[in-house]
Chain A
């Protein structure tokens, strides 16, 4: 098909074009709420995905959802475009219950590597040709697949150290080589949580990196599947990316569920949501900056403390707004829990004071951090992530924007009130650790712009039109077999949720697309061949939160 799409991937591809492209490889249609869906045979996965990527420009494998029905297993590849994320297409690959084997998508999209490992781990689908078919979240001695239909939850799981791969076993190298195997983590000062990086060193040079995740896996997806749409799910997103990004996470669920159940949100609530979300983004980026400085500087230095000090002000504002400092639970389907705190003027003034002081603080950070020669020497040209590689791994957020990928869902797939506000998407072309720092610092300033405009709007909003919630039925039961994948721009990138409703008031399948999961999977590309300190710096520049990686 020569539509010229490969030259301009942003060009809209009609469903007819897609049907023509996939041709008779499509067994049936299985449309999702905002994406056409095509059912293909398990051995056509690679050919369909590579055609969609090369011919139709779907270069972003946003998510892979695996699930089991009574009669089949299903892998859903959610594709969209970096150039225009509103264009989405789902590739649905059913496999039989007896022999759930499907072709791997890893050669087409590198990010399918980790996703298919997770699908195997939790649901039990085998991916033929997968280069590394291990479990990813659960220990390798785990019996059964927890999200499959026939999983026995009563069965005790013994995972003792002796059954587990022994982390203190002799070096993993043969007598000939002179490399050293080193476990970085799960208890290490710089892993930002319980992350375990299996590293092979040649002297101080990193030869091989293999992140081992799952230490913080808390069955978030399954817990959400057991909660009702209306009330019981909203507290969980706060616990994914738990360092100050709570409202951004809540918005991911709110957006998905509202689109699924067709709920309207009052404009006033959208403004409050936008403001709250950007406050969270500032707090989150401050922490990212502070801990990155910690990783590079090596001690709890002035930068770290200044970052925490300034973030504290944001935390106070968020506490005034939501009544909570960490687990906000402030969003509701159809709006937010309550209006701005009274007295309103005081809250608005407090927030304005923070915004007024921000430029001076940002200057201070630039003086201390980005202007420091040693810092520049340490971060320039280290942790290189080329844009093409970043796309292969599904990187989003500041990590992608630091590699020059102009991708921000707030602008490209608008939601909330962002469309009506003046702000810019920040990108840097350096592809290195330094660029990622710069992106975050500038995004703090952009967020401040957004908040300021929101405050102006909120201040002048007519008193009798301040509706914070629309009327939402007490029990939500979306039509059976409605499927939707929706995402928002979280602090770390594209935070998406896939929900399949089964006609009850609880989701049939709830799948979280974590930006940190994707970003972390690119770590080996960024750090192999560099020194240990650069590995640590690159890890810090990814700004992962293990709560979101492991879910």
Chain B
């Protein structure tokens, strides 16, 4: 079983990154000759690169792509004045958002109020550390990779509760409560469905999970269909997708924000930089959700012709695109219906899926 592999002994798994990004940077820059300090610096540089890649993507997604995509769905034009296709709106929006006044409510619970946006944004960034993005862009590949991703993205719920509670606003409070109820209800099916993938791959290690999806399932008309888990177990894929939309609070599960009901939920009282951080955090979470889906269901960076990192980015943007599609077309469920779907529907299905997968894998293997 590949669960026991090490970083060097994986000739059978060609997509697994044998050399991780920090090590490569260490080699290229000669930092690896400086002992622990050099290694740390190389690791920091690598993390800096990946973090900026993700932030740049949210920068494109938030002010520009989201507007363009929803405009296309709703028969509008959206930004088109600044730069080609309105792309420079990103710069204008950045300046606008950062130069706004930071209004802090009188009764805000200070350290918590200030920390919440940082917790929300950083928890998502942490998750990208173990995601293999192809072309050797992979920060770390611990054996508990998948568990780690779920764990750090779960920290975001804490940030939402902090934001909701510390804002001293009733709408924020309602939003925070909704967020935690929703995350608890959907985190479990999410993790359980993720576990069904682990049964296939036999490992929690992200590198292994990706590598295991490289084999050919069937060949149709000369085209190899790979053993992506989305194709092997589409049921789990759909479950995971639904749970993921709820987990990142997108339509039809965007009840924690619910603009027409509770104004903006937990982020009602946040302005300026703090608002940007929370907003960034939300987009990062969508992308992290996309990255997890790409990694454990869509073969990670695998794909023909184009380099792995391009395929990887295409896959996570596809998930982002799906969230915007749903946003334009699907009504929001009510909070009680949302909880009901989570506990009575998704959780049961997730366990059924897990048991079925275990039985099938046990019979075949």
Interface residues of A (CB under 8 A from B): 180, 182, 188-190, 204, 293-302, 304-306, 309, 368, 372, 374-375, 377-378, 531-534, 536
* Binding-face segment, B35-43, B132-140, B256-264: B256-264
Q: Is the CB of A305 within 8 A of B76?
A: yes
- Distance, CA A295 to CA B70, complexed state (A): 18
With A182-B170, A204-B336, A378-B331: A298-B75 Cβ-Cβ less than 8 Å: no
Q: Which of B330, B332, B335 contacts A531 (CB 8 A)?
A: B335
Q: Is the CB of B251 within 8 A of A299?
A: yes
Q: Which of B74, B170, B333, B336 contacts A305 (CB 8 A)?
A: B74
Q: Which of B70, B329, B335 contacts A533 (CB 8 A)?
A: B335
- Distance, CA A301 to CA B336, complexed state (A): 23
Q: Is the CB of B328 within 8 A of A302?
A: yes
Q: Is the CB of A188 within 8 A of B263?
A: yes
- Distance, CA A375 to CA B73, complexed state (A): 19
Residues of A within 8 A of B337 (CB): 377-378
Find the A residue at minimum CB distance from B181.
Answer: A204
- Distance, CA A302 to CA B174, complexed state (A): 27
B68 interface residue (CB < 8 Å to A): no
- Distance, CA A306 to CA B74, complexed state (A): 7
Q: Mark B41-82, 1 if CB is under 8 A from A, else 0.
A: 000000000000000000000000000001001111000000
9 contacting pairs across A/B (C-beta < 8 A): A189-B259, A189-B263, A297-B251, A301-B328, A368-B329, A374-B330, A377-B334, A378-B337, A534-B334
Residues of B within 8 A of A536 (CB): 260-261
Q: Is the CB of B75 within 8 A of A296?
A: no
Q: Is the CB of B74 within 8 A of A533?
A: no
Distance from A86 Cβ to chain B, minimum over Cβ atoms (Å):
41
- Distance, CA A173 to CA B263, complexed state (A): 23
B24 interface residue (CB < 8 Å to A): no
- Distance, CA A368 to CA B329, complexed state (A): 7
Residues of B within 8 A of A378 (CB): 331-334, 337
Q: Mark B318-348, 1 if CB is under 8 A from A, else 0.
A: 0000000001111111111100000000000
With A182-B170, A189-B259: A297-B74 Cβ-Cβ less than 8 Å: no
Residues of B within 8 A of A531 (CB): 334-336
Find the A residue at minimum CB distance from B106.
Answer: A168
Residues of B within 8 A of A534 (CB): 334
Residues of B within 8 A of A189 (CB): 259-260, 263
With A302-B73, A305-B74, A372-B331: A294-B260 Cβ-Cβ less than 8 Å: yes
Residues of A within 8 A of B262 (CB): 532
Q: Which of B70, B73, B332 contacts A298 (CB 8 A)?
A: B332
- Distance, CA A85 to CA B302, complexed state (A): 73
Residues of A within 8 A of B329 (CB): 301-302, 368
Distance from B332 Cβ to chain A, minimum over Cβ atoms (Å):
4
B254 interface residue (CB < 8 Å to A): yes
Total CB contacts across the A-B interface at under 8 A: 83
- Distance, CA A478 to CA B171, complexed state (A): 55
With A532-B261, A536-B261: A296-B331 Cβ-Cβ less than 8 Å: yes
- Distance, CA A295 to CA B334, complexed state (A): 12
Distance from A313 Cβ to chain B, minimum over Cβ atoms (Å):
13
Residues of A within 8 A of B332 (CB): 296-298, 374, 378, 533
Distance from A300 Cβ to chain B, minimum over Cβ atoms (Å):
7
Distance from B51 Cβ to chain A, minimum over Cβ atoms (Å):
29
- Distance, CA A437 to CA B189, complexed state (A): 35
Q: Which of A190, A295, A309, A533 contacts B75 (CB 8 A)?
A: A309
With A368-B329, A374-B252: A298-B260 Cβ-Cβ less than 8 Å: yes
Q: Is the CB of B331 within 8 A of A374?
A: yes
- Distance, CA A83 to CA B76, complexed state (A): 46
Q: Mark B231-265, 1 if CB is under 8 A from A, else 0.
A: 00000000000000000000110100011111100
Residues of B within 8 A of A190 (CB): 260-261
- Distance, CA A350 to CA B337, complexed state (A): 45
Most chain A beta-carbon neighbours within 10 Å: one of B259, B261, B330: B261
Q: Is the CB of B334 within 8 A of A302?
A: no
Residues of A within 8 A of B263 (CB): 188-189
With A190-B260, A298-B260, A298-B261: A377-B75 Cβ-Cβ less than 8 Å: no
- Distance, CA A536 to CA B262, complexed state (A): 10
- Distance, CA A189 to CA B261, complexed state (A): 8
With A298-B260, A299-B259, A533-B258: A372-B330 Cβ-Cβ less than 8 Å: yes
A-B pairs, top 3 by smallest CB distance, nearest first, are A305-B74, A190-B260, A298-B332
Residues of B within 8 A of A532 (CB): 174, 261-262
Distance from B170 Cβ to chain A, minimum over Cβ atoms (Å):
5
In the complex, which residues 145-199 of chain B have their Cβ closer than 8 Å to any Cβ of chain A?
170-171, 174
Q: Which of A180, A294, A299, A374 contacts B170 (CB 8 A)?
A: A180
- Distance, CA A180 to CA B70, complexed state (A): 36
Most chain A beta-carbon neighbours within 10 Å: one of B254, B263, B334: B334
Residues of A within 8 A of B334 (CB): 377-378, 531, 533-534
Find the A residue at minimum CB distance from B254.
Answer: A298
Q: Is the CB of B333 within 8 A of A374?
A: yes
Q: Is the CB of B336 within 8 A of A298?
A: no
Distance from B73 Cβ to chain A, minimum over Cβ atoms (Å):
6
- Distance, CA A378 to CA B252, complexed state (A): 12
Q: Is the CB of B75 within 8 A of A302?
A: yes
- Distance, CA A182 to CA B172, complexed state (A): 12
Most chain B beta-carbon neighbours within 10 Å: one of A180, A190, A204, A293: A204
Distance from B310 Cβ to chain A, minimum over Cβ atoms (Å):
30
- Distance, CA A302 to CA B251, complexed state (A): 13
Q: Which of B74, B171, B174, B335 contacts A301 (CB 8 A)?
A: B74
Residues of A within 8 A of B259 (CB): 189, 298-299
Q: Given known contacts A299-B254, A372-B330, A531-B334, what 10 new A-B pairs fall within 8 Å (CB)? A: A182-B171, A190-B261, A204-B336, A295-B260, A298-B261, A302-B74, A304-B74, A309-B75, A375-B331, A377-B333
- Distance, CA A531 to CA B335, complexed state (A): 8
Distance from A295 Cβ to chain B, minimum over Cβ atoms (Å):
5
Distance from A549 Cβ to chain B, minimum over Cβ atoms (Å):
19
- Distance, CA A78 to CA B252, complexed state (A): 47
- Distance, CA A301 to CA B74, complexed state (A): 6
Distance from B115 Cβ to chain A, minimum over Cβ atoms (Å):
25
- Distance, CA A300 to CA B171, complexed state (A): 20
- Distance, CA A294 to CA B329, complexed state (A): 11
Residues of B within 8 A of A295 (CB): 260
- Distance, CA A531 to CA B174, complexed state (A): 12
- Distance, CA A534 to CA B331, complexed state (A): 13
- Distance, CA A372 to CA B263, complexed state (A): 25
- Distance, CA A302 to CA B327, complexed state (A): 9
Residues of A within 8 A of B252 (CB): 374
- Distance, CA A403 to CA B152, complexed state (A): 51
Q: Is the CB of A204 within 8 A of B75?
A: no
Q: Is the CB of B328 within 8 A of A204?
A: no
- Distance, CA A189 to CA B259, complexed state (A): 7
